Structure 1
Amino acid sequence: MNNLAPERSVQPDRSEPLDALRGLAISLVIAHHYFGFRLGEFGVDLFFVLSGFLIGGILLDSREQPDFFSSFYGRRAFRILPLYWLLLLIAPPDRWAYYLFFIQQVPWVQFGYPVHDPTFVTWSLAVEEQFYLVLPILVFWLPRPWLVRVLWCGALLAPPSRWLFGAYLPHPSWVVLLPGRLDELFGGVLIACFMREYCRSRVAWATLALVPPLCDIFHFALFGSTAPLSVASLICCMAVMSAAATDAQVMFRPLIWMGRRCYALYLFHMLVYSAVSGQTWSAVVAFAIVGALAEISWRIVEAPLIGYAKRRFVMRSSDDHPSSRVGAPTHMPDGLVVETKHK
C-alpha cells in the first residue's frame, strides 16, 4: 500500500451543483442526438470530467481501507451492470461477447463502427470500465508525488494519442479509445487531487493545464484532422471545479432530476428514439418516453440497488480509518457512469 498520510474527505454526500451539472451534460447530449444541437457534443466532455472527479475522489478518500478493491468494484457492478445487461438483452448487438467484457472497440476498429446502432452509445461505458481498471491500481500503489506525475503524463499524452489514432485508425477511433480521453478523465481526478491539497505549486499546475489545449489548437490549425478536444476538457474542468467548490442551492430543479437519472436516460435514449423515429414530433415523444422509463428505472431498479450496494460495500474515507488523526466519518457519493456518442 502507498505510504500517504490520510487526509480528510472534502466532497459532500450529495451536491446539487454537481447533480445539476450532470443534468446539463445529459441535456446537451440528448439535444444533440434528438434535435441536432451541435454544442450538445460538449456534454460528452463534461460527463468524462465529472466521472474522473467523482470516481477519483472516492478512491483517494478510501484507499487505506482493507477491502479497497472489493468495495469499489462491488459498488460499480451494482450500479452499472443491471441496466447495461438489460440494454444488451433488448437490443443484442453484433459480436455481443465483446460487449460483456467492455472491449467492443476491438471489433469496431477491425470491422467498422456501428454508429447507427442504438448500442453504439456503450463505447463510453467501455472507456469508463477500462478507466476503472487502471485508476484504482494507480491510487492504491503509487505514493502521492508519483500518482500526480502519472496523472499529468496521461493528460498531456491524450492529444498526441488522438492525433495518432486519427491518422492511422478508422474514424472515429480518435474519439472512442481510452488514451484519447485521458485529459478529461485524469483531468477530473486531478481536480479531486487539487481539492485535497496535493498541489505543491498552483502556477506549475496552471501552466501544465494550458499545454494540451495549446498543442491541440496548434495541431488543428496545421492539419485540421482532429478537433481540439483539450479546449473543451479545460472548460469542463473549470466548470466542475467551480461546481464542486460551491454549496449554493440550484434553483432549476429539472436539471437535478435529470442529473440523478442520467444513466438510464443515456443508455436508452437512442433505443427509444430509433423505435419512434418517423412519427410526428418523434423527438418530443421519445424524450417523454425515455424520461418516464428513467423515473421508473430509478425508483424500481437503480435506487434500491445503490442503497444495497452502499450498505454491502462501504467505501470508508480516510477519516474513518483507525490510523486517521481525524475521527469524523464522511462518505463520498457514487461516481458517475457516462454513456456518450461519438462526435
Structure 2
Amino acid sequence: MSAHSARPDAGAPAVPAPRLHGHLPVLDGVRGLAVLLVVFFHTTHLSDQSVAGRATWWLAGAGWTGVDLFFVLSGFLITGILWEAKGQTYYFRNFYARRFLRIFPLYYAALAVSFLVLPPLVGRLHLDERITTDGAVWYLLYLSNFYQLWVDTTHPILGVVWSLAIEEQFYIVWPFLIAAVSYRGAIRLCLGTIALAILVRVGLTLWGASEESTYVVTFCRVDSLALGALLSLALRHPEGKGLSAFPWMRYAPWLALPVVAAAIALPVGPAFKTVIRTGGYTAVGILYTLLVYKVVSAERGSLLNRVLSNRVLLTYGKYSYAIYLVHSPLDAILRRTVLKTPLKQVAGSDFPMQVVFYLVAASLSLGLALVSWNLFEKHFLKLKDYFPYSERPAPAPAPASVASGSPGTAG
C-alpha cells in the first residue's frame, strides 16, 4: 500500500489524487482480472508435463487468489460507500436495499435451480449425484462457508458460494461498525480485524484444525476485506493527507513480499500449506491492496490504466457476478460431455485441448452471464435508483448502472 511511488520505501514525489467518487471503470477491469483468475484456476485439467504444461499449472495454481482480490475490492468500495453515506437519514435502508437488489435475486435463483429444479432430475438425466437438497438451509442463510466444514464434498453447482457467504456476513455487520466509530476508530477497527484474522488462522493451525477451516471460515478470511477498507479510509483522511498520514503503510508490501516469495518457492506440502494458511492470505491481500491503490491512483492513459481498461477485462468485470456463479457447474458439464477429461491428446500433448477448454469455458460463462444480465439482473438493478446514497429517495428509477466491486457487490 505504498503511499507515493512504486517503491514502498521511496520518498514522496507528487502523485495524482485518486478519484474516489462515482463509478471508476478501471475497477471493472480489476474485477475482470479477479474473475478470470478464478475461472483459470477451476478450468485447468491438462496432464502435459512439458515446460509449457508445468508453467500453466504453476500459473493456474495462483488463480485461487482471485477471490482475495474480490475481497480487497469489496472492502475498498463498500467502506467508501458507507463512510461517505455515514450520518445520512437513509444510511442503513439504502445500503441494505441496494445490496439486496444486487446480490439476492441471482443468488436465490441459483439456489432455486440447485435445490428445487435439479434434484428430481438427477436419475433421469444422469446428473452429478451430489446434486441434493442437503444443507439447503445453510445456503439460504448465507452460512454455506461454515456448512462446508462438516461435509466431505461440496455441491457441484454451489461450491463457489462460500466466498459470497463471507461477503454477505461482512455486509451485515460492517455498516453498524462504521456508523459507530470515529475516523481513528475506523482505522483501528480495520487493523484489529486484520490482526484477528491472522491470530485465528495461526491458532487453528497450531490446534491442528483442517485446511478447509482456515480457508472458508469468515474470521479467517476477513483480513482481505479489512485491508481494502483500510485503504479506502486512508485515502479519505479528514484533513486530506491521504496515505501520507500513515507512513507505516508503505512498508507493508515489503513485509508481504517475503511471505509470498516463500509460498512461490516452496513445493506443495506441509511447509507451503503452513505459510499460506497463517500469513499467506494476508500477504496476498496486502499486495492486491497495493494493486488497487496503484489502479485508482494511475493517470488516465498510463500503462496500468490501459492494461486494466481493455475491453476484455472491462466486459468480464461488468458481468463477473454471474460468471462467478456459472463457471464451476459449466466446467463440470464440459468435463462430462464435449470436452471430456482426461483431455484428448493432440500431437502427443493435451495442451492444445486445454487452450480450447479455456476459450470455450470463458466464452460460455460470459454468454450465460449476458443472458442472466439482460433477462434478469438489470431489471432488479434499475430499482436501486429508488435507494440513492443521498438524503432523500429518488422519485423514479433510471437505467441501471453498475459500480465496480466483487461478484455481487459494491454499487
Say if 1:53 and 1:189, in contact at 8 Å, map to a contact too. Answer: yes
Q: Kindly indicate whether residue 83 of structure 2 is the aligned counterpart of residue 60 of structure 1.
A: yes
Shift of 1:231: 1.9
In structure 2, runs of 5+ residues without a counterpart are 1-17, 46-59, 116-132, 341-356, 393-400
Tell me how far 1:174 sits from its aligned partner: 0.3
How far off is 1:245 after superposition?
Answer: 1.8
**TM-aligned CA deviation for residue 41 of structure 1:** 1.9
2:327 to 265, 269, 272: 269
Pick the aligned partner of 1:160 from 196, 199, 211.
Answer: 199
Please name the residue that 2:211 is paired with: 171
- My pick for the range that moved more, 254-263 or 30-39, is 30-39
Retained in 1: the 8 A contact 2:321–2:406? Answer: yes
How far 1:290 sits from its partner (Å)?
2.0
How far apart in 1 are the matches of 2:361 and 2:252? 43
Q: Provide the residue aligned with 2:42 in structure 1.
A: 33
Structure 2 residue identity aligned to 1:59: L
Contact kept? 2:31, 2:70, Cα under 8 Å? yes
Name the CA shift for 1:285/1:333 in 2 (closer, same or farther; >3 Å).
Answer: closer
CA radius of gyration, larger in:
2
Give per-residue Cα distances to partners, 1:108-163, cap 9 Å, x unaligned: 32x22534622011100000011112210111011111111111111123222222
Residue 186 of structure 1, CA deviation: 0.5
Deviation at 1:296, TM superposition (A): 1.4
Asked if structure 1 preserves the Cα contact closer than 8 Å seen for 2:24 and 2:404, the reply is: no
Counterpart in 2 of 1:315? Answer: 389
Task: Provide Cα deviations, 1:64-118, integer angstroms capped at 9, x if missing partner.
Answer: 2111111100000010011101111112252111111111233332x22534622
* 211 and 153 in structure 1: CA distance in 2 versus 1, 3 angstrom threshold: farther
Q: 1:108 to 1:235 in 2, by over 3 A?
A: same
User: Matched residues in 1 for 2:403 and 2:330: separation?
Assistant: 27
Letter matched to residue 64 of structure 2: E
Match of 1:245 in 2: 297
Q: Higher mean Cα deviation, 81-90 or 243-252?
A: 243-252
CA distance in 2, matches of 1:217, 1:164: 23
Q: Return the letter of the residue paired with 2:316.
A: M
Q: What one-letter code is carried by the residue in structure 1 that aligns with 2:79?
A: G
Paired residues for 1:8-19 under 5 Å: 10-19=19-28
Shift of 1:48: 0.7
Distance 1:223 1:216 in 2: 13
| 1:71-150 aligned within 5 A | 71-92=94-115, 93-109=133-149, 111-115=150-154, 117-150=156-189
Which residue in the other structure is 2:407 paired with? 338
8 Å CA contact 2:204–2:214 kept in 1: the answer is: yes
Equivalent residues in 2 for 1:215-230, closer than 5 Å? 224=272, 225-227=274-276, 228-230=280-282
Contact 2:178 2:186 in 1 (8 A): yes
Given that 2:31 and 2:404 are in contact with CA atoms closer than 8 Å, whether structure 1 keeps it comes out as no
Which amino acid is 2:114 matched to?
A
Alpha-carbon distance in 2 for matches of 1:82, 1:113: 29
Q: From the superposition, tell whether residues 59 and 335 of structure 1 become closer, same or farther in structure 2 (CA, over 3 Å).
A: farther
The answer to whether the 8 Å contact 1:48/1:338 transfers is: no
Q: Distance in 1 between matches of 2:366 and 2:329?
A: 13
CA distance in 2, matches of 1:213, 1:131: 27
Distance change (3 Å), C-alpha of 1:210 and 1:65: farther
Query: Which amino acid in structure 2 is aligned with residue 296 of structure 1?
Result: V
**Paired residues of 1:91 and 1:118 also in contact (CA < 8 A):** yes
Aligned partner (choices 214, 223, 228) of residue 188 of structure 1 = 228
**TM-score, with structure 1 as normaliser:** 0.82
Asked if the contact 1:213/1:230 (under 8 Å) is kept, the reply is no
Residue of structure 2 equivalent to 1:289: 364
SS in 2 for 1:39: coil
Amino acid of the structure 2 residue aligned with 1:297 = S
- C-alpha distance in structure 2 between counterparts of 1:230 and 1:253, whole Å: 30
In structure 2, the CA distance between the partners of 1:157 and 1:313, relative to structure 1 (3 Å rule), is same
Go from structure 1 to structure 2 and tell me whether the alpha carbon gap of 1:290 and 1:219 turns closer, same or farther (over 3 Å shift). Answer: closer
CA distance in 1, matches of 2:41, 2:252: 31
Give the 3 Å change call, closer, same or farther, for CA 208–42 of structure 1 in structure 2. Answer: closer
Identity of aligned residues (%): 27
Q: Which amino acid aligns with 2:374?
A: R
**CA offsets per residue over residues 266-287 of structure 1, 9 Å max, x none?**
0111122222323344634333
Structure 1 residue 30: Cα displacement: 0.3
Q: TM-score, normalised by structure 2?
A: 0.70
Quick check: 281-290 or 66-75, which moved more?
281-290
Compute the RMSD of aligned alpha carbons: 2.9
| Counterparts in 2 of 1:124 and 1:189: CA distance versus 1, 3 Å | same
Q: Mean alpha-carbon deviation: is it higher for 282-291 or for 153-162?
A: 282-291
Amino acid at match of 2:171: Y
